[in-house]
Amino acid sequence: MPYDEGLAQRLRESLQEHRGIVEKKMFGGLAFLSQGYMFVGILGDELMARVGPVDYAQALSLPHVREMDFTGKAMKGYVFVEPPGFADDADLAAWVARCHRFVQSLPPKPPK
């Protein structure tokens, strides 16, 4: 399934101020990584958001959000956000900030 290139560009613009962000094709979509951790991405036209275990239930309570389950079972700490949930640039920026903040709390992955 191809990913939404318009959303990819919006994410790139939103992430310009952050250093060390890596863009990588994965899961049949596009992911953005920080410190070696995927924190936000695109699958089809949906946003993949890594919110972490503490914010998981709260994120699921928001409109247009559902559990990430493309592996056949729920991936705790990850959610899908449908396009209406990030239609405004401010909403997209809020998701990016939430996800980036979570991965910044994790220890850096050792180099491969």
Contact 46, 3 (CB under 8 A): no
- pLDDT number for residue 3: 92
How far apart CA 59 and CA 11 sit, in angstroms, is 19
CA 40 remoteness from chain centre: 2
How far apart CA 107 and CA 66 sit, in angstroms, is 27
| Alpha helices by DSSP H, 15-112 | 52-60, 89-104
List the domains of the chain with CATH numbers. 5-104 (3.90.1150.30)
- What pLDDT digit, counting tens, does each position of 20-32 carry? 999 999 888 999 9
Q: Is the predicted pLDDT of residue 18 greater than 80, yes or no?
A: yes
**Given phi > 0 = left and psi -120 to 50 = alpha, else beta, which region is 36?**
left
Contact 80, 46 (CB under 8 A): yes
> What are the DSSP E strand ranges found in the chain?
22-26, 29-34, 37-43, 46-50, 65-67, 78-81
Contact 38, 32 (CB under 8 A): yes
- pLDDT number for residue 5: 95
Q: Is the predicted pLDDT of residue 1 greater than 70, yes or no?
A: no
